Amino acid sequence: MRGVFWTVAWVAVLVIAACGGGDSGASSGFAPGNQVSIAGQEINVVLPYKIPERFLDEFARQTGVKVSLNVTNWDSVHAKLVVANTAKTYVADVTEFDWSFTGQFAAAGWYEPLEKVIDPALIRDLSQADAAFNTGGHTYAACYSNDYRLSLYNTNMFMAAGLREFPKTFAELGLAVANLKASGVRYPLGIPMAATEGGVTPWYLLTLAMGGQLFDQHFKPLFADPGSAGYRALQFEVDAVHNGWVSPGSVTLDNAPAFDQFAAGSSAILLASSPGNLPTANDPKQSSIASHVQPALIPGIRGPGMTFGLPEGLAIPVTAKHKDAARAFIEWWMQPANLRLLYQEAGMLPCRSSLIASMATSGELPGGGVLSQELAHVVPLFPQGAPKWYGQFSSSAQGLLNAAVKGDLSVEAALTQLAAKARELAGS
């Protein structure tokens, strides 16, 4: 009897083991052309942002495809996608695809190339922003949020401090901050520095704005040298904490609460903001400083500095169950009227070049002049394409930079350790 028992138990384990290794549909799975009926299907979409209900309802009305939206915060979306795709299991039909995912996700083969399945005219119109999603001759996402970094400032506080325009250089920024403090603004600058992705983004931005790059073309880290822009960028953040330019709590502040504090009138300058925050900051329902917020170019060394793009796209995992419906959803999302609506109601700056030009001409983009000027300063963080180990690099950067601004590590120690990690990752 004991033998029968153990046989049954091990057979069960082996059966489960055999089932567990299965691959749930990694084939292409698109119907040729658009000759397939998708009505009656239901697709799951995973995004880090809320989308207006009526937007999704309208898609369902027009196509008969129901959309089930799963909103998860940005840092968790990456974890969800990594876990599901590593296990080769279904996670959704359409998912978030951040610029920083490109290297890793493309190398792992987790997503469908879109250049053959999406309308070629749309792909051409998205090509500038979609460059961040291109690698190995494939385009892995359709950009829906043309995110990049610019500064926002509170015009009321600037006027009270006798400042007429936003500083163009870091030297001018120092003087402006001194004037703002003298006028009673306790902590003039808002910079998130928590141990999160949002907390390291300002360091990337400052590195570019100070005229540098993180890596050379062979991914050799450039930031550990004390004369480098990356080193000076982190020193700037550490000094900002010590000099009381930012609130002491900035060292545990992520980007969303940093914007909330700015919108509540706690700081005068949000140094690294998304353009999508501008309509929100000027919306009286969501901001106590509405109509007093203007966008500004990121300061630099001798004039406005460089900034970088953080486009986010929609992509189709190879494990998606309804790929044709997913493709229809992406193409529908990219229609100009829908992109306009999402900009107005969700602050997502469109990526279609033709639409941006049209909105800037018609005055639909508040602060459109500055937004267009800043676009001219946008450079990629990784000109050679985001490396497949970006996630690990960013994770190390989050901890080490945060330790530096908290005073647990010196700037030199933090960046030396980060450079060693980067070399290890690049060499592996």
Partner 1 sequence: MGMLMVAPAVIITAALVVYPLIKGFQTSLESADTAVGGQPRFVGLGNYGDVLRSSTARDAIVHTVIYVALAVTFELMLGLIVAVALHRAFRGRGIVLAILLVPWALPSVVSGVLWRRVFDPDSGLLNSMLQQLHLVSHPHVWMASRGWALVLIALVHVWGVLPLVSLILIAGLQSIPEEVYSASAVDGATPLRQFRHITLPLLRPSIAVALTIGTVWAIKIFDEIYVLNGTALNTRSILMEVYNTTFVNADFPHGTALALLLTAVTALLAAGYAVAFGRSTT
Residues that bind partner 1 in the complex, under the rule CB under 8 A: 1-2, 4-5, 8-9, 12-13, 16-17, 20, 75, 78-79, 82-83, 86, 104, 107-109, 194-196, 199, 247-249, 251-252, 254, 261, 266, 388-389, 391-392, 395, 398-400, 402-403, 406-408, 428
188 vs 391, beta carbon nearer partner 1: 391
Alpha helix positions (H), 131-183: 155-160, 170-182
249 vs 383, beta carbon nearer partner 1: 249
Q: How far apart are CA 277 and CA 261, in angstroms?
A: 13
2 vs 164, beta carbon nearer partner 1: 2
Residue 9 CB, nearest approach to partner 1 (Å): 5
307 and 209 Cβ atoms separated by less than 8 Å: yes
Residue 375 CB, nearest approach to partner 1 (Å): 31
Residue 12 CB, nearest approach to partner 1 (Å): 5
Residue 405 CB, nearest approach to partner 1 (Å): 9
Strands (E), 104-232: 134-135, 138-139, 142-145, 150-154, 189-190
- Pair type for strands 189-190 and 269-273: parallel
Alpha-carbon distances of 416 from 68, 200, 219, 242, 411, rounded to whole Å: 45, 16, 15, 22, 8
Task: Using the structure block, give the residue that is written with the tokens 């400042």.
Answer: 163
Residue 274 CB, nearest approach to partner 1 (Å): 20
238 vs 359, beta carbon nearer partner 1: 238
Residue 277: is it exposed, middle or buried by C-beta count within 10 angstroms (0-12/13-18/19+)? buried
80 vs 340, beta carbon nearer partner 1: 80
273 and 259 Cβ atoms separated by less than 8 Å: yes
Measured in whole angstroms, the distance separating CA 330 from the mean position of its chain's CA atoms is: 19
194 vs 205, beta carbon nearer partner 1: 194
5 vs 362, beta carbon nearer partner 1: 5
379 and 212 Cβ atoms separated by less than 8 Å: no
Q: How far apart are CA 207 and CA 234, in angstroms?
A: 8
Strands (E), 231-280: 269-273
Residue 170 CB, nearest approach to partner 1 (Å): 25
Residue 392 CB, nearest approach to partner 1 (Å): 4
199 vs 305, beta carbon nearer partner 1: 199
Task: Using the structure block, give the residue that is written with the tokens 């450039």.
Answer: 222
Q: How far apart are CA 237 and CA 218, in angstroms?
A: 27
Residue 371 CB, nearest approach to partner 1 (Å): 30
